[in-house]
Amino acid sequence: MTALRVRGSVTGLRGELTVPGDKSISHRSIILGALAEGRTQISGFLDAADCRKTAQALVAMGVKIDNLGQDDMVVHGVGLRGLRDPGKPLDLGNSGTGMRLLMGVLAGQDFTTTLTGDESLRRRPMDRIAIPLGQMGIEVTGQGERCTPPVTVCGGQPEAITYHTPTASAQVKSAVLLAGLYAEGITTVIEPGPSRDHTERMLAACGAEITVDELQVSVIGSPKLRGAEIVVPGDISSAAFLLAAALLAPDSQVTVRNVLLNPTRTGLLDILQRMGGDVEVTDRRQVGSEERGDITARTSEPVATEVGGDEIPRMLDEVPILALVATQAKGQTVIRDAAELRVKESDRLATTAQVLQTFGGDVQERPDGLVITGPTRLHRATVNSYGDHRIAMTAVVAGLIAVGQSVVEDTVCIDTSFPGFADALAQLGSNISPDEAHND
């Protein structure tokens, strides 16, 4: 088990840096590159465990990828119908995004495939994908009522449908749209609220006929996708941890450059600014299908707020670090409509509450959210990440602002989304080191 020792009461975090490529866009870039005809050049790809698992699954189905993870990475597309039967189960590790999106792709193949993963992924429900694929005429079988992995997709000829998602979910929407590429006619997804729109942006850039009308997205089947040049921006979900550290540590100013600014992903920035956080966005620019820019955060005295409704899908991955900020905000912060977090790498509502309570935070768990009362003075603690990268990084930042030295156990999971996280914080002036007493 890998553990980190974090020296608390940090001050003077300062510097400019970049974060690894966006995880959501990296997954989609390699999948769409595989389904396109010709070469797809990808730079900025997130060279982390989850995205590598998606890449390895595609390689197992006959896709050639040059220089995986490097800036001159090239995917040699095989076209919509060019994937081959891998001949064995595809192991997606901890990658829920990879599994759900590939389920949509596999719906249109002429072979049957089983997808599995690690212990954590095998607990995550896939029924939200199996249900619409079933409506498209594709047989999907998994374990138990929630269709947990291993999951088997019997590929065939999907039927075009109009699907109303019960909750806003980019993964569900993406899986249905990807299956719709193989259907005859128009496949439509209608959501109750906004969700990440990377898939439809990238499909359009690759030549698919996509129409977007507010919460309704449609794709026409059997397009000829073409290879493209994709420049992946920095992951705003990763940047969030560095920005939060700068907001909470005295005498701090941190700039993260080249960060994704897609409006479906910038909910945390809006909320932090509403809480009185000194957060500034500069050098906004459009590169390819996505907007990006630089974000600077400075020491602030946040005030409490309420978060819910359509804001949640725009910052779902950032709820744990927002909860940490809320422990230092004046008043009672309420986060609601976030029950989706219970089926992530961990039950993130439960694990966020448990970790922050161990540090001394006043955090109460609710069925669909959290109630945090602040400000509270955090103290040193030894906590476990529960194998969840976002809980691990939240705990490290909590340790930075707590009094004393803290230990965060089981931090290898951070490499799922932010390789080099501890080094980035050290570059800004923090003191983080491996904890030998807890490391095997």
* Residue ranges of domains in the chain, CATH in brackets: 4-20+233-438 (3.65.10.10), 23-231 (3.65.10.10)
Q: What is the DSSP letter of 103?
A: H
Q: Are 134 and 109 in contact (CB under 8 A)?
A: no
Instruction: List, in order, residues 6 or more apart from 232 with CB less than 8 Å away.
Output: 21, 22, 25, 26, 29, 42, 43, 44, 45, 46
Instruction: List, in order, residues 6 or more apart from 419 with CB less than 8 Å away.
Output: 20, 47, 48
Residue-wise pLDDT for 331-379, tens only, equals 999 999 999 999 899 999 999 999 999 999 999 999 999 999 999 999 9
The pLDDT value recorded for residue 71 is 81
On the CB side of 233, how many CA atoms lie within 13 Å of its CA?
25
pTM (2 decimals)?
A: 0.94
β-pairing, 253-260 vs 90-91, is unpaired
Which residue ranges of the chain lie beneath pLDDT 50? none
Alpha carbon distance 276, 256 (integer Å) = 19
Instruction: List, in order, residues 6 or more apart from 30 with CB less than 8 Å away.
Output: 42, 45, 51, 54, 55, 58, 65, 75
Residues carrying an active site annotation: 317
Q: Is the dihedral of CA 152, 193, 387, 42 positive or negative?
A: positive
In DSSP notation, 371-422 reads EEEE----B--EEE-TT-HHHHHHHHHHHHHSBSEEEEE--GGGGGT-TTHH
The pLDDT value recorded for residue 70 is 85
Alpha carbon distance 322, 314 (integer Å) = 13
The pLDDT value recorded for residue 432 is 96
Which position has the token pair 């040699």? 76
The pLDDT value recorded for residue 439 is 52
- Closest-CA residue to 10 (of 405, 421, 412): 405
